[in-house]
Structure 1
Amino acid sequence: MPDTATVHPLTPDRFPDLEALFATGGEARDCWCMYWRVTPKGWDAGSGETRRAAFRDRVAAGPPPGLLAYRGAEAVGWVQVTPRAEVPRFNRARSAKPSPPDADLNSVWALSCFYLRKDARRRGLMTVLAREACAFAARHGAAAVEAAPITPRRPLMWGEGYVGIASALERAGFLVVETRTDLRSLMRWVP
């Protein structure tokens, strides 16, 4: 599957493809990759519909906030990759906060969210998306890309892999910067 996947930036004309992808699973349907972008209070005040509208507006404003992977004409995977400055909640999370703390939040990018359609999982697509996201970030001036993936100790449950899987990111060239919890590490890719 990964060798047949094509990857494209999420532009306004591709937003319906993201909507169709997110409709395939409950994990992404209410989040719309807004969790890391808003305050906890803003998150609690929102809904799936308000988040979808806010993310649609973000996509329309550009530049693309991530990449879609396709199998034929259908989107089967998504990764959000943006400068850290765009995801303030990610920067405050214990597992994801910058190291060093005074890192340039515009030149260090965050690979903060993945969503893979159920039938596209366990086929290497996350690694493909991570590699493509790093290349995309580098083309747009990123000095590094960071992620705070999970290292599963048991089968994943309801959406836990949205932060990325450490082994998939290692295959994409990420290295551990710092272990933050038993399950989470800050990882970095440098061009």
Structure 2
Amino acid sequence: MIEVHPATADRFDDVAAVLAPRNPGAQACWCLSYRLPTSEFRTLPGSEQQGRLRRYAEEGTPPGVVAYVDGEAAGWCSVSPRASHHRLRSSRTIPAVDDVPVWSVVCLVIRPQFRRQGLARHLLDGAVDYARSSGAPALEAYPIDAGGGRISSSLAYVGTTGLFEAAGFERVVETASKSGGKTRWLMRRSLA
């Protein structure tokens, strides 16, 4: 059984089960690289990263959704207002295309033992439901076009255009951003 729920403060240990590095206190992303100014992200000690993401959940707007397989935390999707992502607000490679107050999907992470089972689609559907229930008029993502090939699991966090197209997203514009040498697209799904 697969369930997807907003990453509220009471579910944050489950977020940590998905995102925590093997070596506690080591540098990891914790989906902060887009939320914080680059200089702040680079200087934030690994031991403080988890607490910083937890604070978003405690302050009101959960920073994403968590997927569970038979009650076990299996995946994470970072989804929140684009305006809450410092790097997206100032990005020259992934520009805003209009003034719609969209929400953004910036990351999908699935624990290794749950990969290749279709969980990314469940996470994405959960992200759509969460954004819609929170009043988002549209949801954006910035995946790569894998060209029908496989991609490295270390680059898969942005998703693929095929995954997002299957979930009802449409390509809006090819960006100047790359991931693993592959072009990232700005894709959007209306939630109205």
- With structure 2 as the length reference, what TM-score do the two structures score? 0.86
Question: How far 1:111 sits from its partner (Å)?
Answer: 0.9
1:54 counterpart residue number: 52
The structure with the largest strand share of the pair is 2
- The counterpart of 1:45, out of the listed 39, 43, 46, is 43
User: Is the 8 Å Cα contact of residues 53 and 63 (structure 2) preserved in structure 1?
Assistant: no
User: Is the 8 Å Cα contact of residues 82 and 89 (structure 2) preserved in structure 1?
Assistant: yes
Question: How far 1:47 sits from its partner (Å)?
Answer: 2.5
Q: Provide the rounded CA distance (Å) in 2 between the counterparts of 1:152 and 1:25.
A: 28
Amino acid at match of 2:35: R
Question: How far 1:94 sits from its partner (Å)?
Answer: 4.3
Q: Deviations over 1:124-170 (max 9, x none)?
A: 21122112211211111111100101122554235211112211111
The number of equivalent residue pairs is 183
- The counterpart of 2:78, out of the listed 72, 77, 80, is 80
Q: Provide the rounded CA distance (Å) in 1 between the counterparts of 2:188 and 2:124.
A: 11
Q: Provide the rounded CA distance (Å) in 2 between the counterparts of 1:189 and 1:89.
A: 21
SS at 1:49 equivalent: helix
1:71 counterpart residue number: 69
For residues 120 and 94 of structure 1, do their structure 2 counterparts lie closer, same or farther at Cα, with a shift above 3 Å needed?
farther
2:30 counterpart residue number: 32
Question: How far 1:116 sits from its partner (Å)?
Answer: 0.7
CA RMSD, Structure 1 to Structure 2 (Å): 2.1
User: Is the 8 Å Cα contact of residues 10 and 64 (structure 1) preserved in structure 2?
Assistant: yes
Q: Provide the rounded CA distance (Å) in 2 between the counterparts of 1:158 and 1:64.
A: 25
1:19 counterpart residue number: 16
User: Is the 8 Å Cα contact of residues 21 and 76 (structure 1) preserved in structure 2?
Assistant: yes
2:171 counterpart residue number: 176
Structure 1 unaligned runs (5+)? none
Structure 2 unaligned runs (5+)? 177-181
User: Is the 8 Å Cα contact of residues 137 and 145 (structure 1) preserved in structure 2?
Assistant: yes
- The counterpart of 1:99, out of the listed 80, 97, 107, is 97
Q: Deviations over 1:83-106 (max 9, x none)?
A: 111112023334532112xx24xx
SS at 1:180 equivalent: strand
2:138 counterpart residue number: 144
SS at 2:65 equivalent: strand
For residues 115 and 174 of structure 1, do their structure 2 counterparts lie closer, same or farther at Cα, with a shift above 3 Å needed?
same
The structure with the largest helix share of the pair is 1
Q: Provide the rounded CA distance (Å) in 2 between the counterparts of 1:13 and 1:121.
A: 25
2:179 counterpart residue number: none
- With structure 1 as the length reference, what TM-score do the two structures score? 0.87
Amino acid at match of 1:149: P
Q: Deviations over 1:6-55 (max 9, x none)?
A: 111111111111111223768x9711111101111111111222221111
- Is 2:130 aligned against 1:132? no
